[in-house]
Amino acid sequence: MMRDGGPRLLVPPNATTMITALAGGVGAAKLLEGLVRVMPSEYLSVIVNTSDDIQMFGLHISPDVDIVTYTLAGLVNPVTGWGLVNDTFYGLDSLVRFYDSERWFNLGDRDLATHIYRTDQLRQGKTPTEITRHICELLGVTARVLPVTDAFVPTTIVTDQGAMHFQEYLIRYRAQPVVQEIRFENIEDAVATPETIDAIVSAEAIVICPSNPLISIGPILTVPGVRKLLEQASAPKIAISPIIKGQALKGPADRMLAQTGSPATALGVAQIYANLIDGFIIDQQDADLKEEIEKLGLKVFVTNTVMSGATEKYALALFTMQAIKELQVAKLSRV
Ligand code: FO1
């Protein structure tokens, strides 16, 4: 589905490359929006974090899966990057009254329909993968949106103010508590879905989106077997830094990195991914970090990574495709 402006290449640089992206929420969705403009969306698989899933009001909410799906469907709220465009919040007002709870997690009325449908289907024995596939079909999303696992593996953030669900830390407490530990509950017993495994094994290129490496990409890599599969994958692997000049464009990645002992810089992110990737894209404002990151054995690409509009999303996606091509050529010349 084509949406808000932005050019589409007539001859994309590597149009028939099967790309598998690892994604969190808003930052990833912006890049994916660009990617489906420079390649056929049918060739794109997106393995999505599910550790920000939360159960609330008896409903199962899967924010990153929904953010990616709504964005690719052209339905996401363009101001927030999550939820549905033009949504209203009357249902939520009633729910917080019934549950005598604070209103801190904003579930829109139309968004609630997704959560009711997902919860009902789960109760009927469908898996998150099947439900996501059906929602994508209904919304006209032709990329494969794949929850990394069908297990419920929510993130607990242990802070100086106690342990809490990631969404509580992020939204209710505005990421103010100091992070001491990050736990993905039950993840050691989770299994990657066959669709996730297939998307990694059959990928011709793997892209780690500019998402929080700790709580968005971290859980994907922690699902047993996934990191190993990625390490063994022969496809070129590239990541895009979500940190620019020591700051996360969206969310608390910078403070979470600092509080858990990693430098809150593009170099810190590169160190986290170093054994996994071949290439790393950093923002032009971080060009001075290029040499240091190259010492990790990575090919470093420098461009504008701030996706402020359709043109920037398109440009970064195109740049990523060209970087993949370079990595592919470099791999071939080594054979
Ligand atoms: N983010 C917020 O900052 N405030 C909210 O109230 C909020 C509600 C929400 C509801 C559904 C949904 O799918 C996402 C929502 N998000 C909200 C975004 C979400 O908390 C995070 O951005 C992700 O979980 C991290 O990727």
- What atom in ligand 1 is closest to the CA of residue 111? 11
Continuous segment of H or E residues that includes residue 27: helix 26-38
Dist CA 269 CA 213 (whole Å): 7
Distance 243 CA to ligand 1 centre (A): 20
Structure token digits, residue 2: 């084509």
Angle at 275 between CA 325 and CA 208, to 5 degrees: 50
- What atom in ligand 1 is closest to the CA of residue 64? 26
> What is the per-residue pLDDT across 168-210, written as a single tens digit (0 to 9) for each?
999 999 999 999 999 999 999 999 999 999 999 999 999 999 9
Position 114 pLDDT exceeds 80: yes
> What is the per-residue pLDDT across 6-33, written as a single tens digit (0 to 9) for each?
555 544 556 678 999 999 999 999 999 9
Q: For 3, what's the count of Cα atoms within 13 Å in the CB-facing half-sphere?
A: 19
How high is the mean pLDDT of the chain? 95
Distance 104 CA to ligand 1 centre (A): 10
**Amino acid, single-letter form, for residue 171:** I
Rg (the chain; Cα; Å): 19
In percent, how much of the chain has pLDDT > 70? 95
- What atom in ligand 1 is closest to the CA of residue 106? 6
**Pick from 241, 69, 229: which is nearest to 147 by CA?**
69
> What is the per-residue pLDDT across 91-109, written as a single tens digit (0 to 9) for each?
999 999 999 889 999 999 9
Distance 14 CA to ligand 1 centre (A): 34
Q: Which of 10-24, 262-276, 315-329 has the lowest mean pLDDT?
A: 10-24
Dihedral pair phi/psi, residue 48, rounded to 5°: -110, 140
Q: Which residues are near ligand 1 (CB < 6 Å)?
A: 24-26, 52, 61, 63-64, 66-67, 82-83, 105-107, 111, 167, 170-171, 216
Which residues are within 8 A (CB) of 6 and not within 5 positions of it... i.e. 6 or more apart?
34, 37, 310, 311, 313, 314
- What atom in ligand 1 is closest to the CA of residue 66? 13
Position 143 pLDDT exceeds 80: yes
> What is the per-residue pLDDT across 235-249, written as a single tens digit (0 to 9) for each?
999 999 999 999 998
Which residues are within 8 A (CB) of 42 and not within 5 positions of it... i.e. 6 or more apart?
142, 143
